Amino acid sequence: MSTAEQVPGIARGTVLTGPAVPWPASTVPEQIRLRATERPDAVAIAHDDHDFTYAELVATADRVADALRRMGVAPGDRVLCLPDRTPRSIAALLGVMTAGAAYVPVEPGTPAGRLQQAVAACGARVVLAAEPTAADQISLDDLLAGTSDAEVTAAPPAAPDGPGDAAYVIFTSGSTGTPRAVMVEHGSVCALAAGTAHDLGLSAADVVLGFASFAFDVSVLDVWVPLMLGARVAVVDERDRRDADRMQSFLRRHAVTFGSLPRVLVALLDPDRLPAFTTVMTGDEAPDHEQVERWTAGSVRRRFLNCYGPTEATVQVLAFEAAGRWTTPLPIGRPLANHQVAVVDEQLLPVPDGAEGELLVLGPGLARGYLGDPEATAERWVAAPLGLEGRAYRTGDLVRLQPDGTLMFLGRLDRQQKIRGQRVDLDEVERVAAGVRGVDEAHAVVLDQGLVGLAVMPATAAIEAVLERCRDRLPTAAVPAVVSALDILARGPSGKVDTPALRRALAPARTSSEPPRGPDEEALAPLWAEALGTAAPGRDDDFFDCGGDSISAMHLVATIRTRLRRDVTFEDVLSQRTFAALAACVAGRGEPEAWDDVPTGSPREPSAAQRRLWFVDQLSDQPGAYNIAIVERIEGDLDPVALHAALLRVQRDHEVLRWRFPDAHGTPTVSVGAADALDWRQADAVPAEVDALVAAFCGEPFRLAAGPLWRALLLATGAGEWTLALSVHHAVFDGWSQDVLYTDLARHYADIVQGAGDRADAEAVEHTFADYVAWRSARDARRGAADQEWWDSHLEGAPSMVDLPRDRERGRVQSWTGQRASIALPAEVAQAVERDSRRLGVTEATVLLAGFAEAVFRLVGRTDVVIGTPVADRRNLAFEAMVGFFVEILPLRLRRTADTSVDALVLACRDALVSSAAHPSTTLDQVVARFRPTREIGTSPLVQVVFNVFNFRRPKLDLLGVRTTTVRPPVTGSLFDLTLYVVETDAGIELEATYNSDLYEADRVEVLLSAVTRLLADMLNQPDAPAAAAVMPGQAVLAAGLQVPDPAPLHLARPRRPSVGQAPGSRTEEVVARAWAAAIGSADFGIDDNFFDVGGSSLDLLRVRADLSGAFDRQIAVVDLFLHPTVRTLAAHLDGGQLEKRGSALDRAQRRRAAARQRSTRAPRPAAPTTGER
Amino acid sequence: MTDTKAWTYLVVVNDEEQYSIWREGFPLPEGWREAGFTGSEQACMDHIDTVWTDLRPRSLREAQDG
């Protein structure tokens, strides 16, 4: 067998053979179609937005195949694909294979130069993109829109010929200077599937993690292998994919059992909280020893595998199951099913066992070769030596066989290197660099930090041009982090470049950048250095220019969260970029919220915000003001019975929709309605009456005590034409909830229509709103004091009111009568906003807020105002997909000086938004109670004007088989004087104002909206100029009107020494004083003291009311308690007032007018409840 | 490592008409035959580049084209 000299006592040429496992002579689509026939309704691809069943997957793939075939794609062709991370894109890749073609996956966002190279290299006739970026790319949407299931069923597409056809082509780094296109056949994937079922026990019962990029070979193991075995693939989207906390949540939410992770992520996840995840693989780089121990300790029986395999052998051919404590390097293990490996020398002769040599791989996983490159194919795929059959692949990897029969990886034979898990060929880097005019020679090395460094000669070479070409032509990992132009390279005695010397010369220099300073930067420095694998950073260092990528950014974010206890996101690293900017951003952030601290099974109690709404509801004579209305027009073959059933499932999963708040002695409690009872109304209607019917439905009040707190109306207006209206009380819903509701409604509806299984919303079922209430009160108790201190100093001295000039006087009691006006932001202004936001690294909403704030400054004649903005308290992942009332109003204090530039104002708005949101444990109510602002009766306290970007993008209801159009719902009320919404529509950005029509005429609001857009346009024209210099057309007209001229500044209310007041005289006064004392917890007040001045709160008033109602045996209106805030005036009112029963709104309105007539001379100063905001 | 550039190779081909190279003087592995070209490693590679125009295995080529 071997002509090499035999050394006695040492075995030569041991061929390691994996277990023999039969595999079907089949194709990927054929295998998946078989699984779809067996279990059509089983979930094939789980995704947070929209799952695909096996039936859906195959049907969609067939439509893609059909469309491609009609475009002339034939078996043996190649289709270049730019997929996104959705089930639809996976179906598209399957569709390409179904058409008999091979898909060629390329990452979206690949530079144009590289994309062109790829198209040319694989000879693709068609480029299919989830989100096209060039005219010659075909949009997946358009492709699917042009087909229907019916056509396809009529002519089922033929499967590819057989296992020898190419399934896909994946690019890898190659030593020829251009990427190599590895062509893999269906039979190889079939063998991998059968082998994985055997070796790792993967079965239809598993949920497999879809994490790898579709442009990498591991995605074949992530996606096709499980689908061929009938398992479920849980596909991670981009947002979750680059955030360790989100990944942890994702893995748990989907109960993932099996998956491959990059080495970095393994270190950032907590295995103890992932008991279902029992088969964990890494393959990009060997995991750290401590990770092996961490993942295999504990009570969960878990397999933790270090896997090995080149793209040229499909995915993996060796694996090593590691456990416990390791001190020596981890081996890459033994051959997996049907594969053979040997260690050979340059002549392909076996080396003695234990000696170093090249790893040779044989087996069904071997790819066909490099597309269009027979020379390289013949070089790597060689006639199998050692008496073995067929071809063998020379991996170019240096290994050694160990005495225990496992293989140890030692490095590369050529100049390929692993950079952050990706194969990078230094020759390729050099060739690309040498292609730049003026570069005579290029030498690439891997620096100590695991980054590519590049030296080019001569010293006059254009470094920028080299970098640009590298960025355009090379994968991100291969783009040099450091480029130097030198006149001479150090060379060793043999004339070879002295690599260590070059490495030292290229070590990222820090001379131009200052070292970190101050405690915030010093705290961040070691984390930054660790994530990048570099020395200490300079203040101006850019994370991504220093070699950072999404994986290292994920690492950085995770360590900032865990070690610095600051709540940052991946987006922060993206937008801040430089070290100093990120350090400042981190310092402004609050504590991250640990999602795993969320309790389960908490007792049901109303949240503080729900209590507040409950209170407002008692006070209000316009109970419909807190209704949230959602209206959709539906065209097509809607199934009303299925829709009703889907709504039932939604309220089953989201318990809070069934909550109601019975009154227990002045305190709200929670009870829960039956899951199968829904206020569902279905009727026929002529189109002309729809608006009126919907308006009446949406304005219909809810009874908080009795419930239900949501209802649905379905109007049939003609053949295949419907209007669906949902009305929900704000106490159990908010703007964010609508998206959650739509997603779940769409999923349940599709399941019911298709007769699929019932898939409950796992997250909603695991935690209820009661758990949020419990978690929230624990958090507020923990950090409330610190947050309160921050708000105290933030708001000290701010004016207590923003009173935009009005057309009418305010009423005695706040009214909630609402109207709406809107204006489209002209395209050029929208573009200016976008440009500005990008330039300053802020959101577009922040730029818009700056424009609005500037308008408000001018209309109130002050450059220090408080504007409210709603935030959803949903940063904890456990509540991200839950229906409920999570919204709080933040009182943003916005200020500028006479010469503040527009840019500076925008940045001030950003700082106010960021820092206010970082102190969420103090509610607006608490702020109001601390400052007790002097205010006009009939307004909401402290915040009268709100800027709302919460619903920036309107959620879309995606009901299977029908077309839906969102209809602007009727206005049910205005909770503030004016709320400015920023809404993104298909046509662009719209500014929409909901305003109190008892205060403002429609004309005034329309002029205001137009003035804001024109002011903004002028501001953005000259961002360096003072904001005060920008022109606001219509300013004079708008500034005229009724207005409180000079609201008092806010000062922390000091506990007031009660006057030595008079003691109660009459029996009624005694009863009232007793009720006060019980509610406040102190009897230290006189009968002329104001309830709120001696420590009473709005909610305390409800206890007083309950006590007095009992004592006097009649219902007492809350509004009366407000209007008579002293013991004396209240007792006088009770003695002389009308003893009518509290009843209809009409009664209450009458009483309100009566109360106004009886008003005492002293203006009451109630710390009235703040209102929520949708 | 040894300088393989000095060695002489044969171009070899198998039943699927897939090409590779084999060092001259060593017994040919089973299933492979000489394709009629001998030379340096690079010369053999250049030869393969001209004769191996369709990377599909013969059986697949015949099925698809047939």
Per-residue pLDDT band for A511 (boundaries 50, 70, 90) equals: very low
Centre a 10 Å sphere on the Cβ of residue A905 and count the other Cβ atoms it contains.
28
pLDDT of residue A4: 37
Same domain, A895 and A948: yes
Mean pLDDT of A529-552: 78
Same domain, A363 and A496: no
ipTM of this predicted structure = 0.84
- Identify which of A75, A164, A347 has the shortest CB distance to residue B23: A347
Q: For an interface test with A, which of B3, B21, B56 has the most A Cβ atoms less than 10 Å from its Cβ?
A: B56
Nearest to A196 by CA among A163, A228, A168: A228
CB < 8 Å to A398, chain B: none
Contact B19 A369 (CB under 8 A): no
Instruction: Tell me the pLDDT of chain B (66 aa) as tens digits.
Output: 456 667 899 999 998 899 999 988 888 888 899 999 999 988 998 999 999 988 888 888 887 776
Has residue A1149 got a pLDDT over 60? no
CB < 8 Å to B4, chain A: 346-347
Cα dihedral sign for A560, A562, A567, A572? Answer: positive
Distance from CA of B23 to the nearest CA of A (A): 7
Assign domain B4-65 to its CATH superfamily: Structural Genomics, Unknown Function 30-nov-00 1gh9 Mol_id (3.90.820.10)
Mean pLDDT of A840-855: 89
CB < 8 Å to B60, chain A: 161-162, 164-165
Same domain, A1033 and A1105: no
Tell me which of A592, A616, A648 is where a domain ends.
A592
- Residue A127 lies inside a defined structural domain of this protein: yes
The per-residue pLDDT for range A1000-1010, each reduced to its tens digit, is 999 999 999 99
Block residue for tokens 């395999």? A309
Has residue A1060 got a pLDDT over 80? no
- Residue A860 lies inside a defined structural domain of this protein: yes
Contact A275, A251 (CB under 8 A): no
CB contacts < 8 A, A to B, total 83
Same domain, A454 and A406: no
Distance from CA of A387 to the nearest CA of B (A): 6
Q: What percent of chain A has pLDDT over 90?
A: 40
CATH of the domain at A482: 3.30.300.30
pLDDT of residue A154: 43
- Which of A645-649, A1134-1138, B15-19 is predicted with the least confidence, judged by mean pLDDT? A1134-1138
- Nearest residue on chain A to B63, judged by CA atoms? A161
**What is the residue-averaged pLDDT of chain A?**
85
pLDDT of residue A596: 59
Contact A573, A599 (CB under 8 A): no
Starting from the edge strand earliest in sequence, which strands make up the sheet with A78-82, in order? A138-139, A126-129, A78-82, A102-105, A166-172, A180-185, A369-370
HEC profile of A846-899 = HHHHHHHHHHHHHHHCCCEEEEEEEEECCCCHHHCCCCCCCEEEEEEEEECCCC
- Residue A258 lies inside a defined structural domain of this protein: no
CATH of the domain at A1152: 1.10.1200.10
- Identify which of A3, A368, A390 has the shortest CB distance to residue B55: A368
Per-residue pLDDT band for A600 (boundaries 50, 70, 90) equals: confident
Mean pLDDT of A545-571: 81
CB < 8 Å to B19, chain A: 374, 377-378
Q: For an interface test with B, which of A391, A394, A410, A414 has the most B Cβ atoms less than 10 Å from its Cβ?
A: A391
The per-residue pLDDT for range A884-938, each reduced to its tens digit, is 998 888 999 999 999 999 999 999 998 888 788 878 888 888 888 788 776 556 7
Has residue A822 got a pLDDT over 70? yes
How many domains does chain A divide into? 7
Distance from CA of B48 to the nearest CA of A (A): 6
Same domain, A732 and A691: yes
Helix axes A640-653, A735-753, angle to 10 degrees: 130
Looking at A369-498, list the stretches that DSSP marks H as alpha helix, in order from N- to C-terminal side.
374-380, 426-434, 463-473
Tell me which of A744, A765, A786 is where a domain ends.
A765
Has residue A213 got a pLDDT over 80? yes
- Nearest residue on chain B to A414, judged by CA atoms? B1
Mean pLDDT of A682-698: 93
Distance from CA of A718 to the nearest CA of B (A): 53
Domain ranges across chain B: 4-65
A45 strand-pairing partners: A52, A233
Two structure tokens written together for A902: 């527009």
- Which of A11-15, A339-343, A486-490 is predicted with the least confidence, judged by mean pLDDT? A11-15
The per-residue pLDDT for range A950-965, each reduced to its tens digit, is 555 677 888 888 889 8
Has residue A855 got a pLDDT over 70? yes
- Identify which of B30, B57, B64 has the shortest CB distance to residue A76: B64
Has residue A368 got a pLDDT over 70? yes
Same domain, A342 and A446: no
Two structure tokens written together for A996: 């109190």
Contact A164 B23 (CB under 8 A): no
> How big is chain A, counted in residues?
1174
For residues A81 and A518, the model is more confident at: A81
pLDDT of residue A891: 93
Mean pLDDT of A1-6: 38
Contact B1 A346 (CB under 8 A): yes
Same domain, A524 and A441: no
- Which of A265-274, A571-580, A1038-1047 is predicted with the least confidence, judged by mean pLDDT? A571-580
CA distance linking residue A629 with residue A188, whole number of Å: 55
Distance from CA of A835 to the nearest CA of B (A): 50
Residue A443 sits in which domain range? 416-506
- Residue A901 lies inside a defined structural domain of this protein: yes
User: Residues of A near B (CB-CB distance < 8 A)?
Assistant: 3, 75-76, 161-162, 164-165, 183, 345-348, 368-372, 374-375, 377-379, 381-385, 387-391, 413
- Residue A1101 lies inside a defined structural domain of this protein: yes
Largest CA distance in chain A: 120
Two structure tokens written together for A178: 């251009």
pLDDT of residue A950: 59
Mean pLDDT of A497-501: 76
For residues A335 and A558, the model is more confident at: A335
Nearest to A371 by CA among A103, A184, A569: A184
pLDDT of residue A459: 80
Mean pLDDT of A639-661: 95
Same domain, A872 and A984: yes
Angle at A970 between CA A965 and CA A976, to 5 degrees: 125
Distance of CA A1047 to the CA centre of its chain: 41
For residues A407 and A148, the model is more confident at: A407
Contact B64 A385 (CB under 8 A): no
For residues A178 and A1041, the model is more confident at: A1041
Contact B55 A374 (CB under 8 A): yes
pLDDT of residue B47: 93
The identity of residue A574, as a single letter, is: L
CB < 8 Å to A372, chain B: 55
Same domain, A975 and A1076: no
- Identify which of A348, A378, A384 has the shortest CB distance to residue B48: A378
CATH of the domain at A93: 3.40.50.980
- Residue A630 lies inside a defined structural domain of this protein: yes
SS3 content of chain B, % helix, strand, coil (to 5): 35, 30, 40
Same domain, A529 and A677: no
Same domain, A807 and A825: yes
- Residue A984 lies inside a defined structural domain of this protein: yes
CB < 8 Å to A390, chain B: 14, 31
CA distance linking residue A1137 with residue A908, whole number of Å: 52
Same domain, A624 and A757: yes
Contact A708, A673 (CB under 8 A): yes
Looking at A297-383, list the stretches that DSSP marks H as alpha helix, in order from N- to C-terminal side.
374-380
The per-residue pLDDT for range A857-886, each reduced to its tens digit, is 999 999 999 999 988 777 677 787 789 998
Distance from CA of A369 to the nearest CA of B (A): 7
Burial bucket for residue A683 (CB in 10 Å: 0-12, 13-18, 19+): exposed
Has residue A1145 got a pLDDT over 60? no
